[in-house]
């Protein structure tokens, strides 16, 4: 068997995620309300997010000085979907609100992108110290053990995850119509507050699918590769949309994908039309 061309990248990303998670845990219960700032509507950030991102950048860019990093903290405006060369896409603390309230889950999410392709993904669940890792073409592991998506074949047997609109309400009606469809059609829909963890749990078979709008690349880049390497399917809300950079996606175990994507039609339509709706 040929050695992986991304072994070093995977190992450095794991070390970076581990160091950031250790720092975040060390500050649990120490973030006072006065230290939480809003970057935007219902979009909090703390010194913990910022220091965790600095720790990750220090690891990644010291090991790979020719690479660049796209991190949640400090990034504004539109993001180029397919840069030249290599780029690390980082969410240092996905689930900041959960963390500040002492509620699981929260995660560190790191992905390596080469041009348009995702090559390496690490999502570290800081609440339970689980490590979800994927390398393109090499499958998914959870704490070093191979894992795969669920075998659920019918929507009425499916357990789904989602994220409610909490910053941009221009597509909320389409979301609510989709939500009603799916709570009637499935075994249940859960909302945990971390898209990175929702995708990781789809990838390893705990959830059968996930849908959400209003997402940023750092929320989902690693999770998208996890699901694909776990044997699942991820698409944008609308046909042809890039699930990492279009802001919305549908992820599933693959067997349910057509049915789940169809049920998400109202959300897809409303999300695509949101620019013409008053905020």
Q: Which of 48, 172, 155 is nearest to 99 (CA)?
A: 48
Per-residue pLDDT of the chain (279 residues; tens, 9 = 90+): 567 899 999 999 999 999 999 999 998 876 655 455 555 544 566 788 899 999 999 999 999 999 999 998 765 556 777 678 899 999 999 999 999 889 999 999 999 999 999 999 999 999 999 999 999 999 999 999 999 999 999 999 999 999 999 889 999 999 999 999 999 999 999 999 999 999 999 999 999 999 999 999 999 999 999 999 999 999 999 999 999 999 999 999 999 999 999 999 999 999 999 987 766
pLDDT of residue 34: 46
- How far apart (Å, rounded) are the C-alpha atoms in residues 200 and 132? 7
Q: Does the predicted TM-score (pTM) go above 0.95? A: no
Strands 209-212 and 159-162: parallel
Q: Which residues of 144-156 are buried (b: 16+ CB within 10 A; e: fewer)?
A: eeebebbebeebe
Using a 10 angstrom Cβ sphere, with 0-12 exposed, 13-18 middle and 19 or more buried, the burial of residue 29 is exposed
pLDDT of residue 198: 98
> DSSP class of residue 1?
-
Provide CB contacts within 8 A for 227, sequence distance 6+.
149, 199, 202, 203, 233, 234, 251
Q: Which two tokens stand for residue 104?
A: 């699981």
pLDDT of residue 42: 43
């Amino acid at each position: 068997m040929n050695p992986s061309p991304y072994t070093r990248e995977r190992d450095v990303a794991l070390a970076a995620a581990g160091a950031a998670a250790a720092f975040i845990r060390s500050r649990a219960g120490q973030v006072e309300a006065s230290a939480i700032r809003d970057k935007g509507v219902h979009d909090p950030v703390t010194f913990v997010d910022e220091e965790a991102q600095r720790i990750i950048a220090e690891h990644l860019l010291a090991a790979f000085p020719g690479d660049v990093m796209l991190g949640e903290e400090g990034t504004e405006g539109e993001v180029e979907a397919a840069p030249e060369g290599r780029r690390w896409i980082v969410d240092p603390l996905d689930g900041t609100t959960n963390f500040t309230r002492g509620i699981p889950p929260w995660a560190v999410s790191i992905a390596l992108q080469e041009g348009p392709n995702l090559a390496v993904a690490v999502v570290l669940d800081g609440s339970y110290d689980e490590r979800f890792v994927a390398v393109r073409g090499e499958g998914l592991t959870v704490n070093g053990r191979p894992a795969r998506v669920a075998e659920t074949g019918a929507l009425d047997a499916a357990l789904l995850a989602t994220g409610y609109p909490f910053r941009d309400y221009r597509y909320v009606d389409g979301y609510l119509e989709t939500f009603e469809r799916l709570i009637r059609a499935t075994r249940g829909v859960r909302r945990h507050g971390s898209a990175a963890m929702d995708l990781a749990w789809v990838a390893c078979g705990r959830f059968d699918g996930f849908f959400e709008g209003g997402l940023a690349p750092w929320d989902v880049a690693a999770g998208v590769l996890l699901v694909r390497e776990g044997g699942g399917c991820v698409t944008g809300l609308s046909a042809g949309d890039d699930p990492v950079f279009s802001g919305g996606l549908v992820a599933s175990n693959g067997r349910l994908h057509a049915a789940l994507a169809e049920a998400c039609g109202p959300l897809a339509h409303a999300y695509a039309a949101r620019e013409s709706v008053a905020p």
